[in-house]
Chains A and B, each alone.
Chain A
Amino acid sequence: MAHIHLGDGSFPLWALVLWTTLGGSLVAYVLYRLRTRSVETRHVALAGVAAAASFAVFQLNLPVWGGVHLNLTGLVGILAGPLLGPLVTVVVNVFSAALGHGAVGLLGANTLVNATEALVAFYAFRTLVRANWSPFPAGATAATLGLAAGAFLMGGIVVASGVNGSALPRADLALAVSGMVAVNLGVAVLEGVLTGFVVQFLATVRPDLVGAAADDTTEPSGVAV
């Protein structure tokens, strides 16, 4: 569920430019890959549904860990794949920022964080399924690992950038941010288990959906649950 919850102007200009450039480069690379490879329309449909689910959940504050929202980016990565998955995170972040949930200036940083979650979850899930893991443990573990990767990246981005208006020395800021990363890891447990159940359910009723993204938008051999 990692998401940088700071307002516009919180990061120094150089950091804003850096993260926006990196986020934009990731999107450009994904779009280039999509143009050079064929993507089945059903994958686009699946990504659209995943975007709707992710966006809806993104805006709901749950009464656990003090009040948190989920991202479902692990599920997005597993269902939509490594190309459409990052694009879904862009869509979710843009619409969220448009509604005031997340700063417009941090779109690049938040896209990097959430795309990382989707990418790590996808590749972890594919690796585990190829090792003959069952859908539930594979989905839950992959989503948790993906969310953990996103949480660490989020912490790294905040510490590397520094926060305008914060009088904390860099060491104290790093300690405070590590606490936030740790909270995100706790929330990843909830989201990981939820993702595991969804993947288990889909693998039972529509196994083609779970491995769909990996079939022909990535490497020749995809995920077969």
Chain B
Amino acid sequence: MGAWRQYGALTAVLGACTAAGLWGFANTGGPLPYAKRFASALQQGARDGSGALLDVGRGVVVAGPIRKQGLVGEYVAVVAVLALVGLATYAYTTRRASDPPRR
């Protein structure tokens, strides 16, 4: 399929989702963290709000439940274990694939 059709279809999908997102953002309280937005929308209903879509000053933070309970160390440990298991399995299979077949 032609590149213009592929990117045209992608643009249409992204455009529709962006428009929906902007509507939802404005109708669920504006710039609220996701968990607060979820709770307030379901308890108080839809309500108007406005604000910046991007708040660079806030930065990237670990999710509230983990941060507030002091579980950041456990979070890092789980990520490390999952990554190590995946990478170790990958290394094992790569090495095994390069071994000559047994007779």
Contacts and interface: CB of A to CB of B under 8 A. Distances in A.
Contacts of A33: none
Interface string A23-65: 0000000000000000011101111111110011011111111
Given A45-B86, A46-B90, A177-B41, A186 B17 contact: yes
Interface stretch (A13-21, A188-196, A216-224): A188-196
Contacts of A179: 23-24, 27-28, 41, 46
Interface in A123-166: 131-134, 137-138, 140-141, 144-145, 148, 158, 163, 165-166
Interface residues of B, number: 68
A17 B80 CA distance: 33
22 contacts: A42-B94, A48-B86, A48-B89, A49-B83, A55-B78, A61-B62, A61-B64, A66-B31, A66-B55, A95-B82, A137-B6, A137-B9, A144-B13, A163-B42, A163-B43, A176-B28, A176-B46, A179-B46, A182-B23, A183-B37, A185-B20, A187-B21
Interface of A: 3-6, 40-42, 44-52, 55-56, 58-69, 91, 95, 99-101, 131-134, 137-138, 140-141, 144-145, 148, 158, 163, 165-168, 172-173, 175-189, 192-193, 196
